Amino acid sequence: MKILCLSASNIEPFKDLSVSTRTCEMISEMVQARQTDAEVRILPLIDYEIKPCRMCGKCLEAGDCVRDEAFNAVYVALKEADRIFIICPQYATIPSKLVMLLEKFQEIAYLNWCAYNSYMFPLANKRVGLIVHGGQTEDALPVYKANLLAPLASIIRSVGMHVVGVDEDWQDGAAFGITSLVKPEDSIFVKIEHDWGMIHGRVEPLVEKVLSIK
């Protein structure tokens, strides 16, 4: 089984140390503990300079984006995966690179569906686990759920992908907040603390459901 963990973090100084990427690493460990033969790839969107969709329509014939090789590389990786996890921080609200990725999904799916009623988007029916987080405490979970998790799930379902839920209360995925933050004197960024034991417990049930055979 091929698993792709997509990190939507886009903060240049953090890169591999971002919370999104660290969560991907946690998921990788969970997956390999359950399925030792699983192949897990972590794909940080910060490494890909994706361009916004211009709705030129050329993807109808090309099957991918004729002006964006970064998008095409991510698209191929997603098509090759059997299971997908997307870890997304809250910016304003969905990070721009993830928005551009999803815009192109919808354009490819919509144009092809208009041309061929029997068309099925290449990522349709793939099981997706969504995990969102942000820079506020757990009190902000309802905000993350409504403003980030629900819109992401809606967009992803719109192209036929199968968003996996945790339970009746969290049907679109999982979310977590921070425990505290401190502003160091030598940095423009705050230092954010997380409870990684809690995050592990929050993410693990979703990983198990995404990996299930159903």
Query: Domain of 122?
Result: 2-211
Least confident window among 95-99, 167-171, 177-181: 177-181
- Judged by DSSP in three states, 154 sits in helix
- Over range 139-167, report the average pLDDT: 96
Domain count, the chain: 1
Q: Greater confidence, 35 or 144?
A: 144
Residue 79 is part of a domain; what is its CATH number? 3.40.50.360
CA 63 to chain centre: 22
Instruction: For residues 65-72, give the mean pLDDT.
Output: 96
Best CA proximity match to 84, nearest among 54, 105, 53, 55:
105
Percent of the chain with pLDDT over 90: 83
For the entire predicted model, the pTM comes to: 0.93
